[in-house]
Amino acid sequence: MLLSLSKITKSYQSAEGPVQVLKGVDLDLMPAESVALTGESGSGKSTLLHLAGGLDRPDTGAIFMNGRDVGTLDDNGRARYRRSEVGLVFQQFNLIPSLDVAANISFHARLADRFDLEWERELIDRLGLEPLLRRYPEQLSGGQQQRVAIGRTLAARPPLVLADEPTGNLDETTADAVLDLMLSLTQNAGCALLLVTHSTRLADKLDRKVLLRGGRIVA
Ligand SMILES: Nc1ncnc2c1ncn2[C@@H]1O[C@H](COP(=O)(O)OP(=O)(O)OP(=O)(O)O)[C@@H](O)[C@H]1O
């Protein structure tokens, strides 16, 4: 087992009092497995991804990554976890504005001490980024930034990639092409993938689909 979420609960404070978003989520991912996380808007998909990515802590329950409990790590431990064990591809691309495309792509791989020139060249080639390497993020379209964000995450070959509607703000043709590429590259890199998507068409391309409803995984 790569990732194991067990009995995860999470509440947020709101003006009307606490709102329990996750009410006992169980979810397992095998190494290199791709899973689509679906569910209505507001069902807690992003919340779940944030917890799995070490961006936030669950109220109760356990998150095991390679047998280690991530949910109880302190801030430093979670920062190390994010640096070396997970890759995040979110809608807001979080590229570093002061670095050009080439430097953005190698940034995480270098931080995680996993820089591999050959793999990086292959990513640049497959993602069609060669002509853009000297540009800065603000000089790129949304689809181009998305491809850079995918390259940046995969360059570090994290065991687990967490992707939150990564193609949500692209037109359908571009979204399809970018997702196909991401799937094929995560498979090449041997990464597991947990992908939040509203699209059943996209979800069908993954190994397995799960549905978040009423604070639990129901399918
Ligand atoms: N920081 C926060 N503070 C208070 N409430 C929050 C916070 N983050 C999320 N929520 C609430 O928790 C619920 C789940 O949000 P979340 O973003 O996880 O859902 P989602 O399934 O990803 O939705 P969408 O598909 O619309 O992106 C929502 O009702 C949201 O308003």
pLDDT tens figures, 57-77: 999 999 999 989 987 888 899
Q: Which domain CATH number covers 98?
A: 3.40.50.300
- Sign (positive/negative) of CA torsion 184, 71, 96, 84? negative
Q: Is the pLDDT of residue 160 over 70?
A: yes
- Residue 44 beta carbon below 6 angstroms from any ligand 1 atom: yes
- Please give the pLDDT value at position 202: 82
Q: Which two tokens stand for residue 15?
A: 């003006």
Asked whether the ipTM of the predicted complex exceeds the cut of 0.90, the reply is yes
What is the span of the domain harbouring residue 171?
3-217
40 confidence band (pLDDT: 50, 70, 90): very high
Average pLDDT over residues 90-99: 87
How far is residue 47 from each of residues 31, 147, 215, measured CA to CA in Å? 22, 24, 11
Task: Judge whether 5 and 195 are in contact, CB under 8 Å.
Answer: no
Q: Which two tokens stand for residue 71?
A: 């949910």
For the chain, what percent of residues have pLDDT higher than 70? 99
Contacts of 121 (CB under 8 A, 6+ apart): none
- Compute the chain's Rg from CA coordinates: 17
pLDDT tens figures, 175-209: 788 888 888 999 988 999 999 988 888 889 899 99
Residue 34's SS3 state is strand
Residue nearest to atom 5 of ligand 1 (CA): 12
Length reported for the chain: 219
168 confidence band (pLDDT: 50, 70, 90): low
- Residue 47 beta carbon below 6 angstroms from any ligand 1 atom: yes
Domain count of the fold of the chain: 1
138 confidence band (pLDDT: 50, 70, 90): very high
Q: Is the pLDDT of residue 89 over 80?
A: yes
Distance from CA of residue 53 to its chain's centroid?
A: 8
Distance from CA of residue 202 to its chain's centroid?
A: 15
- Please give the pLDDT value at position 201: 82
Q: Is the pLDDT of residue 87 over 90?
A: yes
- Please give the pLDDT value at position 30: 97
Q: Cα–Cα distance between 171 and 92 in angstroms, integer?
A: 16
- The residue whose CB lies within 8 Å of the most ligand 1 atoms, and thus the one to mutate among 37, 46, 55, 92, is 46
Q: Is the pLDDT of residue 167 over 90?
A: no
- Residue 39 beta carbon below 6 angstroms from any ligand 1 atom: yes
- Residue 134 beta carbon below 6 angstroms from any ligand 1 atom: no
- Residue 14 beta carbon below 6 angstroms from any ligand 1 atom: yes
Q: Which two tokens stand for residue 110?
A: 């270098």
Number of Cβ within 10 Å of residue 38's Cβ equals: 20
Q: Cα–Cα distance between 111 and 119 in angstroms, integer?
A: 16
Name which residue leads in pLDDT, 84 or 121.
121
